[in-house]
Amino acid sequence: MLKGLKIILLGVGVIVVGFSSFFITSYFINGNEDKGTTITKIQNNGNTPSRPNVSGIENVLTKENYDGTVEIKTTLLTEKSSNNQLLFEVVMNTHSGDLLQYDFAKLANIGFGKETNNSGIFEWQPSNQDSHHLKGILTWKGQIDKNPSFIDLDLKTIDQIPSRIFHWEKSKAIDEMLKK
């Protein structure tokens, strides 16, 4: 009797695991392919907003890049920025390499409209010293001379990727920031 119960429980376990695997594969992998979207395609879109605000609406001030083995998310901190200082929260994750080897202040460039503005100074303030999961504030101190049509932050040569551009179109939040 006990041997029969063990066989039944083993059979039920095999069925549950098999059904779960089928469901996960069908829904998450095959279901997305039918729509023309895969998880990889979604992650590689460098302009996808990522960080929900308190009300659950995605924050358009957060931009992502998943090129190479280093994932980078940048958020333009409009509440702390002005027309002579832009602050970006930068969050990086990798499972290979050492993120502490990079001098982010020297690898950054900023652009406004059709102009790249290399005048001004970047400063990098890490909030941790984790070589695989690094977070900090990248500050550009310079003067934005005119009303830009967009803001581009370009981080160069991180993980042998020549350029990662994070792009913010002109918005109400940026207009308010530039009035400060």
Please provide the DSSP assignment of 55-96 as one string.
Answer: TS-B-TTEEEE--TTEEEEEEE-TTT-BTTEEEEEEEEEESS
At 76-119, the pLDDT tens digits run 999 999 988 999 999 999 998 899 999 999 999 999 877 666 66
The percentage of the chain sitting over the pLDDT mark of 90, rounded to a whole number, equals 47
Provide the strand spans (E) within 32-177: 62-65, 70-76, 85-94, 108-112, 115-117, 121-126, 133-141, 150-158, 161-169
Stronger pLDDT, 51 or 12, i.e. the higher one: 12
**pLDDT-based confidence at residue 176 (cuts at 50, 70, 90):** confident
